[in-house]
Chain A
Amino acid sequence: MKTREYEAMFLLDNAAAVADWDGTSGIVDQLLTKYGAEIVHKEKWDERKLAYEIRGHKRATYYLVYFKAASDVAAKVTADASLNDKIVRMLILTLDEPIADHIKKRAEERERLAEESRKASLAAGWGADDRPRRRRDDEEGGEVFEVPDVPELAEET
Chain B
Amino acid sequence: MPRNTKPPKKKKKLKKVVEKGKCRFTKARVEAIDYKDVATLQKMVSAQGKLYGRKRTGTMAHFQRKLQAAVKRARFLALLPFVAR
Binding site for B on A (CB under 8 A): 9, 11, 45, 50-52, 54, 60, 62, 64, 89, 91, 93, 105-106, 109, 112-113, 116
Docked-complex contact B30 and A89, CB < 8 angstroms:
no
Docked-complex contact A91 and B77, CB < 8 angstroms:
yes
Who on chain A is nearest to B31 by CB?
A105
By size class, the interface of chain B is 10 to 19
A89 CB contacts on chain B under 8 angstroms: 76-78
Q: How many A-B residue pairs have CB under 8 A?
A: 33
From B36, B78, B84, give the contact of A50 (CB < 8 A): B78
Docked-complex contact B80 and A51, CB < 8 angstroms:
yes
> CB-defined interface of B29-41 with A at 8 Å, one 1/0 digit per residue?
0110010100000
B82 CB contacts on chain A under 8 angstroms: 52
Main secondary structure of the interface of B (DSSP, over half): loop
From B28, B73, B81, give the contact of A52 (CB < 8 A): B81
> CB-defined interface of B64-85 with A at 8 Å, one 1/0 digit per residue?
0000000001011111111010
With the chains together, A9 CA to B30 CA distance in Å?
22
With the chains together, A45 CA to B35 CA distance in Å?
13
CB distance from A6 to the nearest CB of B (A): 14
With the chains together, A50 CA to B73 CA distance in Å?
14
CB distance from B22 to the nearest CB of A (A): 16
